[in-house]
Amino acid sequence: MGATEVRGTDRAVETVEVANPATGETFASIPVDSPQAVAATVARVRANQPAWEGLGFDGRRLWMNRLRDWLLDNSERVAETMQAETGKVRAEAMFESGYLTDLVNFYGSKAEKFLGETKVRPHSLLTATHKLRVRYRPHQVVGLISPWNFPLILSIGDAIPAMMAGCAVVLKPSEFTPLSVQEVVDAWRNEIGGPDILACVQGTADTATALVDESDFIGFTGSDRVGRLVMARAAETLTPVSLELGGKDPMVVLDGSNLERAVNAAAWGGMTNSGQVCMSIERIYVEEPVYDEFVEKLTEKVGSLKQGPDGAEYGCDVGAMTSPNQIKHVAAQVDDAIGKGARALTGGKRADGPGDYYEPTVLVDVDHSMGLMRDESFGPVVGVMKVADSEEAVRLANDTRYGLSATVFGPSRRAEGVARRIECGAVNVNDVLFNYAVPGVPMGGWKESGIGYRHAEYGIRKYCRSESIVSARFSTDDEPLWFPYTKSRRDLVNKLTTFVTARGMKRFGR
């Protein structure tokens, strides 16, 4: 990505250039939206939001189902665009559309249950004189600032529940991967014919800042450093936020594990999408009795992975890294670890040739003095440590400022016991990364991994404001609590309060 200026007849238009990480070649240029353009876009969709909300759940579901069908019909087209801007292999580029279509079905069937008006039973006789109901009203405009590692899952995937809730949505994708998001948004308007309540703005930090300023709710996915800046900016206008800020996810391998499954899970969980997954397995703690065999098998598995560009042929397992800055970060982490005594059993350096490729890497002799075991790597690298027992594994797994997700392999009962002691938002037992594929359970981080949740009822209610409707059951001219205050009125209120709230004989003043 680079910034240039394109001269028109009367003004300069800033652009961002989009490069293919697999080849290093620039192949597209996207105009940047100024803060004024962002404000105009937000104002436009805001004006259309009431009509969208007014369609109700059934009306909105019809449009979302059309989006689902478009994604199914155009999954190859979307994958091709995504491969060009991210450097993903085909299998991983194809996954994103499938996740979105499943999410449309999930929230299409559950939104009314999660957001429909509910009746609340009075908790005592004092409140039984009123009908109590709770309803949810959408924020008018939701601004979503998304990263480059999953351009559609982490943008359209957040837009789906917001739109089902009745919100208008403005997306700001990463400047490294602007094209696939823009393609879907354009299709919503021009091919699907959807209402003008979904828009996309392009640019860098200034564009994102403007979107924070103009929106009624902000969703951000990215680094904890930038997440703090987003939160601080949103605080100036008291705009609510949801932040997903990455992780340093541990995997614990216990004695008695199915080692073949554990190794395959570790290889995929650490290397899929070139390790550029917020929930990637980045550090592995293995009990001593199975450590040597696990390391041998993992090294063999990771060393056998095919890396490179594969077009539509499904010929490779590991693609390029999307951000040039990220590959430098990973290389620096590995070099630092090796300088402090770690050994690379496979990989350990940038791959030769064009494109931003880092070799799938397994490091041993690592410890928590190394940044590799403390700070997010976000690349195809795992560090493996031998531990004496599960107590040490849990202590090391929790020795982090992050708490997004984790994985535990072992005999089911023992593994679940360990899982319940790890400090994070989700733990997979004898599986890896699967919690994100299950929209029925919440996905969110503890500690510095963020604020708020995706999925389940939490993932759609966050886009709404609750509204309580409290209606008197009886229409009388006066109430004992109202003016004027007199001794007789207060005596009546006090006696009623004592009778309703006290227990036993104290109800009768005894």
Do residue 360 and residue 240 come from a single domain? Answer: no
pLDDT of 311: 85
Do residue 233 and residue 319 come from a single domain? Answer: no
Contact status, residue 420 vs residue 414, Cβ threshold 8 Å: no
Q: Using CA atoms, how far apart are residues 104 and 160, in angstroms rounded to an integer? A: 6
Do residue 227 and residue 370 come from a single domain? Answer: no
- Mean pLDDT, the chain, whole residue set: 95
Contact status, residue 373 vs residue 394, Cβ threshold 8 Å: no
Position 101 pLDDT exceeds 80:
yes
Do residue 197 and residue 260 come from a single domain? Answer: no
Block residue for tokens 């030769």: 352
Do residue 237 and residue 267 come from a single domain? Answer: no
Q: At what angle do helices 205-214 and 224-236 cross, to 10 degrees?
A: 40
Q: For 317-344, what is the mean pLDDT? A: 97
What residues form DSSP beta bridges with 426?
A: 405
Decide the pairing of beta strands 2-7 and 217-221: unpaired
Q: Residue 407 CA to chain centroid, in angstroms?
A: 18
Q: Please give the order of strands across the beta sheet that includes 12-19.
A: 2-7, 12-19, 26-31
Do residue 238 and residue 365 come from a single domain? Answer: no
Active site (catalytic) residues: 244, 278
Share of the chain above pLDDT 90, in %: 93
Q: For 497-509, what is the mean pLDDT? A: 87
18-72, pLDDT tens digit by residue? 999 999 999 999 999 999 999 999 999 999 999 999 999 999 999 999 999 999 9
Q: For 219-226, what is the mean pLDDT? A: 97
Q: Using CA atoms, how far apart are residues 88 and 311, in angstroms rounded to an integer? A: 9
438-490, pLDDT tens digit by residue? 999 999 999 999 999 999 999 999 999 999 999 999 989 999 899 999 999 99
pLDDT of 109: 98
Do residue 304 and residue 350 come from a single domain? Answer: yes
Lowest mean pLDDT among 121-135, 143-157, 287-301, 403-417: 121-135
Residue range of the domain that includes 119: 34-245+457-465
- Domain presence at residue 12: no
Q: Using CA atoms, how far apart are residues 246 and 241, in angstroms rounded to an integer? A: 16
Q: For 178-206, what is the mean pLDDT? A: 98
Q: Using CA atoms, how far apart are residues 283 and 384, in angstroms rounded to an integer? A: 6
Residue 145: φ, ψ to 5°: -105, 115
Do residue 336 and residue 390 come from a single domain? Answer: yes
The CATH number for 300's domain is: 3.40.309.10
Residue 227: φ, ψ to 5°: -60, -40
The residue ranges of DSSP E strands in 271-321, in sequence order, are 281-287
